[in-house]
Structure 1
Amino acid sequence: MALPLDSSAITHGIQLAVAPVFLLTAVSGMIGAVAGRLARIIDRARVVEDRARESSDPAFLARATGELAELRQRGRLANGCIALLTTCAFLIGLTIIVLFLGQTTAVRINVVAVGCFLLGVLCFLLALLCFLMETVMATRLLDFHLLR
């Protein structure tokens, strides 16, 4: 089945589909930032584990265990944030495809495009909350170390 292609419809479809691409730029920047934070969390956990293996001081071991628990929670938040951002990017990609197809073919699936876009934005907002929680935990951990 041949699809009639109208150049003005294709141009308009590309214009519509390009708008969500700007969100993809923000998502990629966030993934880079969170991945860097996750790498630092893992590095710190390795240092604390190595020091704990070498120590026999019960007070130090208790502090190390507490810090490792905090680092584990921060790692989970960072992983959740990356998962949400990846889901967001996938949904925005689907939005772009659906918008383009909706404009260039007779298939009307705009409801799908709206749903994908809104779910993508929701995932982005939830990722931002995870990021905020992780940074608050990191700051709290920093404050805890200053008291010791």
Structure 2
Amino acid sequence: MATPSLLPHTPALAQLAQIIQLAVAPVFLLAGLGAFLNVCAGRLARIVDRARRLEPRILESRGQEHDRLIREIRMLDRRIRVVNTAIFTSVLAAVLISIVVILLFGAFLTGYRFGTLIALLFIAAMIATASGFAIFLHETRLGTRSVRIGSHILDHEPDEDEGR
């Protein structure tokens, strides 16, 4: 007599295994988006910290120094908005991917056919992901541009008296 299997092999169980396999890729994508969001949040924190350090200096400065600090804090404000937009689109992508996984299991449990909706949501998630990356790339370009070292510093040569 054969020993009964603890998990009987039924079509429903085989289908569930397929659904789980299908859901694994989007879950890995969620993990990648989480790592990307961590990078964005770290960058945002550094920008905000820099802006907070500038605020008191702006209030105390005058003339060309004041103008330079105002330009810098305006750039930081712009970068904050851009990073926030990258975070928004990445979180939107994560939400859409989560809905895709939910619908995969919902279709299995209810028998409804959500294939077209799942495909459209996944396409929307990829568009949001690509947008988040593109926006982040734009922010890194802004950051690089704002930290360029001025030629007056690069070309500066100390006077003979300064060295003593």
Mark yes or no: TM-score above 0.5: yes
**CA deviation vs aligned residue, 1:21-57 (integer Å, no higher than 9, x gap):** 11111100110000000001101111111111122x2
Equivalence for 1:89: 94
The one of 111, 117, 123 equivalent to 1:112 is 117
Q: How far apart, in 1, do the equivalents of 2:109 and 2:33 lie?
A: 27
Identity %: 34
Structure 1 residues without counterparts, runs of 5 or longer: none
Q: How far apart, in 1, do the equivalents of 2:35 and 2:132 lie?
A: 12
The one of 130, 136, 141 equivalent to 2:135 is 130
Equivalence for 2:20: 14
CA contact (8 A) 1:12 1:103 kept: no
Residues 93 and 87 from structure 1, CA distance in 2 versus in 1: closer, same or farther, beyond 3 angstroms?
A: same
Q: How far apart, in 2, do the equivalents of 1:118 and 1:50 lie?
A: 46
Counting matched residue pairs gives 142
Q: How far apart, in 2, do the equivalents of 1:23 and 1:146 lie?
A: 41
Query: Structure 1 residue 100: deviation in Å?
Result: 2.0
TM, length-normalised to structure 2: 0.82
Q: How far apart, in 2, do the equivalents of 1:37 and 1:137 lie?
A: 13
1:43 aligns with 2:49: yes
Q: How far apart, in 2, do the equivalents of 1:123 and 1:147 lie?
A: 39
Structure of greater relative contact order (alpha carbons < 8 Å, 6+ residues apart) = 1
1:139 aligns with 2:149: no
Structure 2 residues without counterparts, runs of 5 or longer: 1-10, 153-164
Q: How far apart, in 2, do the equivalents of 1:62 and 1:73 lie?
A: 17
CA contact (8 A) 1:92 1:117 kept: yes
Structure 1 moving runs of 4+ over 3 Å: 145-148
Q: How far apart, in 1, do the equivalents of 2:52 and 2:111 lie?
A: 57
CA RMSD, Structure 1 to Structure 2 (Å):
1.4
TM, length-normalised to structure 1: 0.90
Instruction: Say which one has the larger Rg.
Output: 2
